[in-house]
Structures are given as structure tokens and as C-alpha cells.
Amino acid sequence: MASFGKFIKAQREKKGWSQTEFGALIKCNTPLVSRIENDKKPITFNKCKLLSELFELDYEMIKDLYFADKFAKDAFQYKCSENVFSVAEAQTKYFKEINTTQGKLKF
């Protein structure tokens, strides 16, 4: 996958919608749709559920794509090293662990 913006654009075109038509469906005006597709602005996370319905795709998959894109943009922008994501993976496991052994985590 290229980026979340490109993904949205591809799916929208697959459905044959213009940015304006699609914008009406997700309650964004046309310029915002453009910016989202060109990765100038992120789409609001809350809209991922709606996207999965409109595109008829698995929500979990879209959610992962959304966050992968977000993480990647940060990592790129701040020039993180190659292994930042494996550290992140280890850390996630750690959080899951405490969450089950100890009380529920809340950041």
C-alpha cells in the first residue's frame, strides 16, 4: 500500500464516485477529500468505520492501514531508525501483558 490517502483514492475510484459525491457520503467537502487523498491532511479516525462500510472492506484491516500510515508518517518525518517499529512491537506486547496481569492500562 502506498499511503492511506492513495488507498482512499483508489477505493473511491473503484466505486466510481467523484470527490464531491464521496465527500457527501463521508461528510467532508470536496477540497478536504482532495487533501486527504493527497496526504495533506489525515482523515479523522472515527470515519474508518464508515469507510469500511462504503468500500465494503474489513474494518480491522482499514484500522491497521490507518495507523500504519500514521506511524510511518511520524517515523519518516522525524527520521527514526530502521528498528523503531520492532521496538514498538515489543512495547505493545509489554502493554498487553501488564494489561492482563495488572489492572487495565489507561494512558
Partner DNA sequence: TATAAATTTTCCAAAACTTGCCATATTTTT
Partner DNA sequence: AAAAATATGGCAAGTTTTGGAAAATTTATA
Please select the residue that binds a copy of itself; options are 13, 21, 53, 60, rule is CB under 8 A.
Answer: 60
Residue 79 CB, nearest approach to a copy of itself (Å): 8
Binding status of residue 64 toward a copy of itself by CB under 8 A: yes
Give the integer Cα–Cα distance in Å for 22 and 55.
11
**DSSP type of residue 44:** P
Q: Residue 55 in contact with residue 15, Cβ under 8 Å?
A: yes
73 lies in the site for DNA, by CB under 7 A: no
Of DNA, a copy of itself, none, which one does residue 75 interact with (CB within 5 to 8 Å by kind)?
a copy of itself
Crossing angle between the packed helical segments 84-101 and 59-77, to the nearest 10 degrees: 130
Nearer to DNA, 20 or 99 (CB): 20
Question: In the complex with DNA, which residue's Cβ is closer, 39 or 84?
Answer: 39
Question: Does the protein bind DNA through residue 51 (CB under 7 A)?
Answer: no
Please report whether residue 39 would count as binding a copy of itself according to CB under 8 A.
yes
Look up residue 35 and give its three cell numbers: 487533501
What cell does 103 get?
489492572
Question: How far apart, in whole angstroms, are the C-alpha atoms of residue 78 and residue 59?
Answer: 29
Q: Which positions lie near DNA, rule CB under 7 A?
A: 18-20, 27-35, 37-38, 40-44
